[in-house]
Amino acid sequence: GAGVSQSPSNKVTEKGKDVELRCDPISGHTALYWYRQSLGQGLEFLIYFQGNSAPDKSGLPSDRFSAERTGGSVSTLTIQRTQQEDSAVYLCASSERLGPDTQYFGPGTRLTVL
């Protein structure tokens, strides 16, 4: 079946603009995760969803970042007033449920802020 998809695959934006990154999880997966991978660094955990709920937003780097999930499916990560340090690959993953189930990762969105 279809895996996790993310769009756009690449996004170049100017400093100060807002961007929206989209994640389509595997159908039926109730848990969804967002990560950020900066050049030469590991993955930084941003936020998780159980259904449409994100109980803990403390991993988001700043209040310019927000995320939502609707219908227990698609999730959107929004970055307002982008800064150059936001440049990274943003990865989304989903799993059947919150727990030890395998996370399936999407291909990522490469964000470049000029």
102 binds another protein (CB under 8 A): yes
Rule CB under 8 A: say whether 100 interacts with another protein. yes
Q: Between 27 and 56, how does the x/- string for binding to another protein read (CB under 8 A)?
A: ------x-x----xxxxxx--x------xx
Nearer to another protein, 6 or 82 (CB): 6
DSSP 105: E
User: Are 20 and 72 in contact, with CB atoms under 8 Å apart?
Assistant: no
Q: Binding another protein by CB under 8 A: which of 21, 23, 88, 91?
A: 91
Q: Comparing C-alpha atoms, which of 114, 104, 94 is closest to residue 48?
A: 94
What 8-state DSSP symbol labels residue 101?
S
